């Protein structure tokens, strides 16, 4: 869990008169590290309240402490959360509070840098600032990272199908080209998904895969999934597992009544495209 120091002290102005023959030395803590949180997961940050002398100070659970996060450019408020006070008057918990950012708090935010501040609610009902360093800096920098979940890549779109006549079955077969299946990224239980778009389609669809690293344009494939439709319109999904070098889609339209060849699109409709993700 991350620890974030926050300073509570009165705003005062130091004036240095260089009247001494010796060079005066001034020592102040002026840094505050950036706060890094991960997008789309639960983040919990312990807030440690200190005074300007770097001493932990007790905070009361009857007082309200608020964390605010906003866009550094537009100043638009994005998140505002009340801190949970953990201070139980013991040495280990003195001045501690807890900030919890849920998955939904950061899910819709871009991976970028933001500004945050902490304020306290005074007894008169007004807020006063807490400081991020001992130079009266009110705002700190918060970085939203996305290092836990991989970024989804766009699906491959299959829109071109080449028709060929199979003399043995007396049917036309429509085959896509070879679609790379990225075997180097897949484990033995690799999941593939295809979304098939159809309009009043009648016929059979074959999902096929090959282990050949250099298949011919319409090389030899093994069928891994089959779907048959009788006038389907919409999107249908097919999931299958396996490590393949390439995949392809082949569809064979149904034969219209009183016809011997399946080349009547008025009857079998259309098989429009496939979106493929592996």
pLDDT band per the 50, 70, 90 thresholds, residue 31: low
Which sequence spans correspond to the domains of the chain? 2-145, 156-277
What average pLDDT score do residues 51-78 get? 86
Chosen CATH of 2-145 out of 3.30.565.60, 2.60.40.1220, 1.20.1090.10, 3.30.1360.120: 2.60.40.1220
Which helix (H) or strand (E) is 130 found in, with range? none
C-alpha 156/C-alpha 153 separation (Å) is: 9
pLDDT tens, position by position, 132-190: 877 778 888 999 998 887 777 789 999 999 999 999 999 999 999 899 998 887 666 78
- Provide the mean pLDDT of the chain: 85
pLDDT of residue 219: 66
Chosen CATH of 156-277 out of 2.60.120, 2.60.40, 1.20.1630, 2.40.160: 2.60.120
What average pLDDT score do residues 118-143 get? 85
pLDDT band per the 50, 70, 90 thresholds, residue 3: confident
Q: Are 46 and 2 in contact (CB under 8 A)?
A: yes
Higher pLDDT, 191 or 11: 191
pLDDT tens, position by position, 205-263: 999 999 998 887 666 899 999 999 999 999 999 999 999 999 999 999 999 998 999 99
């Amino acid at each position: 869990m991350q620890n974030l120091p926050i300073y509570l002290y009165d705003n005062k102005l130091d004036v240095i008169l260089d009247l001494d023959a010796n060079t005066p030395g001034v020592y102040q803590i002026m840094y505050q590290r950036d706060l890094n949180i991960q997008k789309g997961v639960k983040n919990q940050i312990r807030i440690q309240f200190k005074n300007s002398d770097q001493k932990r100070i007790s905070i009361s659970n009857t007082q309200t402490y608020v964390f605010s996060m906003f866009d550094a450019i537009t100043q638009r408020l994005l998140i505002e959360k009340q801190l949970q006070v953990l201070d139980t008057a013991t040495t280990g918990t003195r001045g501690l509070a807890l900030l919890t950012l849920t998955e939904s708090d950061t899910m819709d935010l871009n991976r970028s840098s933001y500004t945050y501040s902490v304020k306290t609610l005074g007894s008169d009902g007004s807020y006063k600032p807490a400081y991020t360093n001992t130079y009266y800096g009110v705002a700190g920098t918060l970085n939203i990272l996305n290092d836990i979940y991989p970024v989804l890549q766009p699906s491959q779109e299959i829109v071109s199908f080449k028709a060929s006549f199979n003399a043995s079955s007396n049917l036309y077969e429509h085959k896509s080209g070879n679609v790379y299946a990225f075997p180097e990224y897949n484990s033995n239980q690799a999941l593939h998904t295809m979304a098939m778009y159809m309009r009043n389609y009648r016929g059979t669809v074959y999902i096929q895969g090959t282990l050949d690293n250099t298949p011919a344009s319409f090389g030899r494939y093994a069928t891994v999934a089959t779907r048959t439709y009788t006038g389907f319109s919409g999107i249908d999904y097919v999931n299958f597992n396996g490590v393949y070098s390439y995949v392809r889609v082949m569809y064979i339209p149904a034969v219209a009544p009183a016809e011997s060849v399946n080349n009547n699109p008025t009857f079998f409709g259309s098989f429009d495209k496939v979106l493929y993700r592996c």
